Amino acid sequence: MNRLKRLMQGRNGTDQFAIALLYFSVALAISGSLLEQGWLIFLSYIPLIMSVFRTFSKDIASRRRENQDYLTAIYHLKAMFKRKKKFVTGTETHRYYICPHCKQKLRVPKGKGRVTITCPHCGKEFKKKS
Protein backbone atom coordinates (compact mmCIF):
# COMPACT_ATOMS: atom_id res chain seq x y z
CA MET A 1 0.00 0.00 0.00
CA ASN A 2 2.88 2.36 0.72
CA ARG A 3 4.25 1.72 -2.77
CA LEU A 4 0.91 2.77 -4.27
CA LYS A 5 0.87 5.94 -2.12
CA ARG A 6 4.40 6.81 -3.25
CA LEU A 7 3.45 6.14 -6.87
CA MET A 8 0.43 8.45 -6.72
CA GLN A 9 2.22 11.20 -4.81
CA GLY A 10 2.28 14.38 -6.91
CA ARG A 11 -0.14 12.98 -9.47
CA ASN A 12 -3.65 14.06 -10.42
CA GLY A 13 -5.57 10.94 -9.38
CA THR A 14 -9.13 10.26 -10.42
CA ASP A 15 -11.57 13.10 -10.90
CA GLN A 16 -15.08 13.41 -12.37
CA PHE A 17 -13.81 13.73 -15.94
CA ALA A 18 -11.65 10.58 -15.65
CA ILE A 19 -14.61 8.66 -14.25
CA ALA A 20 -16.86 9.91 -17.06
CA LEU A 21 -14.25 8.77 -19.58
CA LEU A 22 -14.25 5.32 -17.97
CA TYR A 23 -18.05 5.09 -18.16
CA PHE A 24 -17.95 6.21 -21.79
CA SER A 25 -15.30 3.59 -22.55
CA VAL A 26 -17.38 0.83 -20.95
CA ALA A 27 -20.51 1.99 -22.80
CA LEU A 28 -18.64 1.89 -26.12
CA ALA A 29 -17.28 -1.58 -25.38
CA ILE A 30 -20.69 -2.96 -24.40
CA SER A 31 -22.44 -1.43 -27.41
CA GLY A 32 -19.67 -2.74 -29.67
CA SER A 33 -20.12 -6.22 -28.24
CA LEU A 34 -23.90 -6.17 -28.52
CA LEU A 35 -23.84 -4.80 -32.07
CA GLU A 36 -20.89 -7.04 -32.99
CA GLN A 37 -18.91 -4.06 -34.23
CA GLY A 38 -15.20 -4.56 -33.61
CA TRP A 39 -14.34 -0.98 -34.45
CA LEU A 40 -16.51 0.25 -31.54
CA ILE A 41 -14.65 -2.04 -29.17
CA PHE A 42 -11.35 -0.74 -30.55
CA LEU A 43 -12.63 2.83 -30.21
CA SER A 44 -13.45 2.18 -26.55
CA TYR A 45 -9.72 2.03 -25.78
CA ILE A 46 -9.25 5.74 -26.55
CA PRO A 47 -11.25 7.12 -23.57
CA LEU A 48 -9.79 4.37 -21.39
CA ILE A 49 -6.23 5.45 -22.23
CA MET A 50 -7.18 9.10 -21.73
CA SER A 51 -8.58 8.28 -18.29
CA VAL A 52 -5.43 6.42 -17.23
CA PHE A 53 -3.30 9.28 -18.56
CA ARG A 54 -5.34 11.81 -16.55
CA THR A 55 -5.06 9.71 -13.40
CA PHE A 56 -1.26 9.41 -13.56
CA SER A 57 -0.54 12.89 -14.92
CA LYS A 58 1.75 15.17 -12.92
CA ASP A 59 0.43 18.33 -14.62
CA ILE A 60 -2.21 18.90 -11.97
CA ALA A 61 -3.08 22.47 -13.00
CA SER A 62 -4.00 21.45 -16.55
CA ARG A 63 -6.01 18.44 -15.39
CA ARG A 64 -7.93 20.61 -12.89
CA ARG A 65 -8.70 23.12 -15.62
CA GLU A 66 -9.93 20.34 -17.92
CA ASN A 67 -12.04 18.88 -15.13
CA GLN A 68 -13.55 22.30 -14.39
CA ASP A 69 -14.37 22.76 -18.10
CA TYR A 70 -16.03 19.34 -18.10
CA LEU A 71 -18.07 20.15 -14.98
CA THR A 72 -19.15 23.51 -16.45
CA ALA A 73 -20.25 21.83 -19.71
CA ILE A 74 -22.20 19.17 -17.80
CA TYR A 75 -23.88 21.85 -15.68
CA HIS A 76 -24.98 23.78 -18.77
CA LEU A 77 -26.16 20.58 -20.47
CA LYS A 78 -28.26 19.60 -17.44
CA ALA A 79 -29.71 23.11 -17.21
CA MET A 80 -30.63 23.03 -20.91
CA PHE A 81 -32.42 19.69 -20.56
CA LYS A 82 -34.20 20.95 -17.46
CA ARG A 83 -35.44 24.01 -19.40
CA LYS A 84 -36.53 21.83 -22.33
CA LYS A 85 -38.37 19.46 -20.00
CA LYS A 86 -40.08 22.36 -18.28
CA PHE A 87 -41.08 23.77 -21.68
CA VAL A 88 -42.43 20.45 -22.94
CA THR A 89 -44.27 19.39 -19.81
CA GLY A 90 -44.94 22.86 -18.40
CA THR A 91 -45.60 23.23 -14.75
CA GLU A 92 -48.58 22.19 -12.67
CA THR A 93 -50.30 25.53 -13.18
CA HIS A 94 -49.07 26.78 -16.58
CA ARG A 95 -48.45 25.61 -20.12
CA TYR A 96 -45.86 27.07 -22.48
CA TYR A 97 -46.38 27.92 -26.15
CA ILE A 98 -44.34 29.54 -28.91
CA CYS A 99 -45.78 32.41 -30.90
CA PRO A 100 -46.02 31.24 -34.53
CA HIS A 101 -45.09 34.70 -35.81
CA CYS A 102 -42.13 35.90 -33.71
CA LYS A 103 -41.17 32.62 -31.92
CA GLN A 104 -41.50 34.23 -28.47
CA LYS A 105 -42.11 31.81 -25.57
CA LEU A 106 -45.45 32.46 -23.85
CA ARG A 107 -46.85 31.12 -20.58
CA VAL A 108 -50.59 30.42 -20.33
CA PRO A 109 -52.52 29.19 -17.25
CA LYS A 110 -53.75 25.60 -17.48
CA GLY A 111 -57.39 24.57 -17.30
CA LYS A 112 -58.96 27.57 -19.07
CA GLY A 113 -60.11 25.60 -22.12
CA ARG A 114 -59.54 26.99 -25.61
CA VAL A 115 -58.11 30.49 -25.25
CA THR A 116 -57.01 33.26 -27.56
CA ILE A 117 -53.41 34.13 -26.79
CA THR A 118 -52.09 37.57 -27.66
CA CYS A 119 -48.33 37.75 -27.98
CA PRO A 120 -47.00 40.73 -26.01
CA HIS A 121 -43.96 40.95 -28.27
CA CYS A 122 -45.57 41.17 -31.74
CA GLY A 123 -49.27 41.65 -30.86
CA LYS A 124 -50.49 38.72 -33.01
CA GLU A 125 -53.30 36.51 -31.72
CA PHE A 126 -53.61 32.73 -31.99
CA LYS A 127 -55.81 30.11 -30.36
CA LYS A 128 -54.60 27.19 -28.29
CA LYS A 129 -56.01 24.84 -25.68
CA SER A 130 -54.68 25.59 -22.22
pLDDT per position as a tens digit, 102-124: 989 888 888 888 999 899 988 88
- DSSP H stretches of helix in the chain: 2-8, 16-34, 38-43, 45-56, 60-89
Least confident range from 16-30, 35-49, 70-84, 91-105: namely: 91-105
Dihedral-angle region of residue 20 (phi above 0 means left; psi in -120 to 50 means alpha; beta otherwise): alpha
Rounded to whole angstroms, the Cα distance separating 80 from 66 reads 21
CB-based contact 107:88 (threshold 8 Å): no
Instruction: Please determine, for residue 90, whether its predicted confidence score (pLDDT) is greater than 80.
Output: no
Q: Is the pLDDT of residue 125 over 80?
A: yes
Indicate the average pLDDT of the chain: 89
User: Rounded CA gap, 97 and 112, in Å?
Assistant: 14
Residues 6+ apart with CB under 8 A from 56: 11, 12
More confident residue, 3 or 34: 34
Query: Do 23 and 31 form a contact (C-beta atoms < 8 A)?
Result: no
Is residue 92 scored above 90 in pLDDT?
Answer: no
User: What are the Cα distances from residue 65, in Å, to 37, 47, 103?
Assistant: 34, 18, 38
pLDDT of residue 110: 86
Record the pTM.
Answer: 0.63
Where does the pLDDT of residue 1 fall: very low under 50, low under 70, confident under 90, or very high at 90 and above?
confident
Q: What is the pLDDT of residues 45-88, one digit of tens each?
A: 999 999 999 998 988 899 999 999 999 999 999 999 998 887 77
Q: CB–CB of 104/121 below 8 Å?
A: yes
